[in-house]
Amino acid sequence: MSDEKNKSGGIPVFNRSTGARDIRQPARRQETPAQVGPAEPAIATAEPEREDAAVPVPEATASAFSEASAEGSPDDLDKSKAKDKEQQKIESLADFLAHFYAGKTKTLGDATLRKVVKNARIEEIKRYELLALAEESDPTLEKSLNLMLLAADLSGYRSIEDQLRFFAAEIGRRVQGQGKLSLESWLPRTSEDGLGFEAMAAEAREAARKVAESEVASADKKKALKRLECGFYLACQWRFYLGASPRELVGVLRRRFFEPNLFYRERGDGLIRLLASQPFGDAPGLAWLLDDQARQVQQAEARADQLERELRQLEVVKSQVEEELKAREALLAEQGEQLRELQAQLETAREQSRIQGVHSNDDLSRLRGQVLRLFDSELPVLQDVLTALERDPPKVGVAREYLGSVVENLSKEISRIKG
């Protein structure tokens, strides 16, 4: 493809922040050797320091950053200050890699980049320490994928770019996930080794299918799928760096991954932006990828709006449920108080009934004693009366006298009992 054709044919680029789509002239691609040696250079040649040096930033990222700066909150300013402090601690490329994989920084600012360029050499022992740290802190290869994308922006600092790419690829070869699948064949050390794009894509899809169908914990399954996704996109960028055909890469992306959507699209956006910045705007399928990326962003934004509406509806329902719950709690508290009052009244009635029962038993015992004493005293008299009446002739006068005494005593006792 000639330079004149590159200049005349622009590349459609979708801006995530504004939703606009414009035509940009492709950047000039650096000459990349057909083969890259198996070992990373031990000493990096420092580029001449430039006061106006800056890391190129994709349009979507720059636009989003400008909008965020305009609307920055105090919390954002505090975070920015914290990041600046972390950047100030970086004095060499080794420091940057340690901070990057520890999650303390995600960018490489101009001032830090100048220091890194001056101190780009990494001793062999330090390199092994950094590899061990990165392997432990990046089990899903997401950080290594971001490091590979960051390297693509360092077009003016080839030695730093190469070292970052080599480092990210080495982590991809070391990290193994669910199923112990090695990515060695995805990340060959030279362009002549490893699987082809089609074979690599087929292997990635098959591995993802096996992980999805495996009977493992959900968290482990999600982690393994994420590692496969990041590893695949990492391998695509590494192959592109080794000089792979962009036409083949675009075709594989469209046929194998984006048409039958398998992996998360967001992790492929960086690769699409990288492809769009290269001088092959007429590569078959690239315009489709950019349009599809724009559609995915629009769908994601529509989904986000829908989720926001559903969230507001849930907030309304939550408020109603909370009010109903408070009313029911108040009613329950009132009924509980009434129940406690009724229980207190019941206990009082039970106590009174018990006391009344004791008194009734005492009265009954007392009355029984009085009746028994009356019978004991009057029964002999009645027997004497009966004896007097049985005489021949009956002694009626004696019987009348005794009966009168008995009747009088009975009347007195009955009156006392009634009283």
Is position 65 within any domain? Answer: no
Q: How far apart are the first and last CA of the chain?
A: 133
The pLDDT of 341-348, averaged and rounded, is: 94
**Could you list the residue range(s) of the whole structural domain that residue 372 is in?**
311-418
| Of the candidates 134, 248, 153, the residue with the CA atom closest to the CA atom of residue 191 | 248
351 and 296 in one domain? no
The CA distance from 209 to 217, in Å, is 15
For residue range 154-196, what is the model confidence (pLDDT) as tens digits?
Answer: 877 888 888 998 999 999 888 875 555 678 888 888 878 777 8
Q: Quick one: 321 and 290 in the same domain?
A: no
- Tell me what percent of the residues of the chain surpass a pLDDT of 90: 20
Distance separating alpha carbons of residues 276 and 385, to the nearest angstrom: 140
The answer, yes or no, to whether residue 33 has pLDDT greater than 60, is no
In a domain, 336, yes or no: yes
Domain end (from 290, 305, 320): 305
The answer to pTM > 0.75 is no
φ and ψ of 85, to 5 deg? -65, -40
Domain count, the chain: 2
Residues 410 and 291 in one domain: no
Write down the residue that tokens 């009955």 correspond to.
Answer: 414
Where are the alpha helices (H) located in 56-109, listed in sequence order?
59-70, 74-88, 93-101
Question: What DSSP string runs through 204-223?
Answer: HHHHHHHHHHS-S-HHHHHH
* 384 lies in some domain: yes
Separation of alpha carbons 355 and 368, rounded Å: 20
| Cα separations in angstroms, 66 against 5, 17, 59, 298, 308 | 33, 10, 11, 21, 25
223-274 confidence digits (pLDDT tens): 888 888 888 888 888 888 888 777 777 777 766 555 445 454 555 565 666 6
Query: Domain check: are 279 and 316 in the same one?
Result: no
Least confident of 50-64, 92-106, 324-338: 50-64
Q: Are 55 and 154 in contact (CB under 8 A)?
A: yes
Q: Is 193 left (phi over 0), alpha (psi -120 to 50) or beta?
A: beta
Domain-embedded: residue 213: yes
Q: In this structure, is residue 388 part of a structural domain?
A: yes
pLDDT score of 352 more than 80: yes
| Domain end (from 282, 305, 328) | 305
DSSP state of 391: S
Q: How confident is the model at residue 77 (pLDDT cuts 50, 70, 90)?
A: low
Q: What is the pLDDT of residue 257?
A: 54
Per-residue pLDDT for 310 more than 70? yes
H or E element in which residue 399 lies:
helix 396-418
DSSP 261: T
How far is the C-alpha of 89 from the C-alpha of 83, rounded, in Å?
10
Handedness of CA 314, 317, 323, 328 (dihedral sign): negative
Residue 11 host element (H or E): strand 11-14
412, part of any domain: yes
**86 and 235 share a domain?**
yes
Does one domain contain both 227 and 292? yes
Same domain flag for 322 and 219: no
Question: How far apart are the C-alpha atoms of 5 and 413, rounded to whole Å?
Answer: 139
**259 and 355 belong to one structural domain:** no
> Which of 273, 305, 337 marks a domain boundary?
305
Q: Where residue 75 falls among pLDDT bands split at 50, 70, 90?
A: low
* Residues whose CB is less than 8 angstroms from the CB of residue 107 and which lie 6 or more positions away in sequence, other chains included: 55, 83, 150
pLDDT for position 341: 94
In this structure, the answer to whether residues 112 and 175 fall within a common structural domain is: yes
- Asked whether residue 17 is domain-assigned, the answer is no
Whether residue 220 is found in the same domain as residue 98: yes
> Are 183 and 326 contained in the same domain?
no
- Same domain? 261 vs 391: no
pLDDT tens for each residue of 127-157:
999 999 998 999 888 899 889 888 887 877 8
Q: In this structure, are residues 105 and 96 in contact, taking their beta carbons and an 8 Å threshold?
A: yes
Please give the backbone phi and psi of residue 19, each rounded to the nearest 5 degrees, phi first: 80, 5
Asked whether residue 19 is domain-assigned, the answer is: no
| Neighbouring C-beta atoms of residue 265, cutoff 10 Å | 19
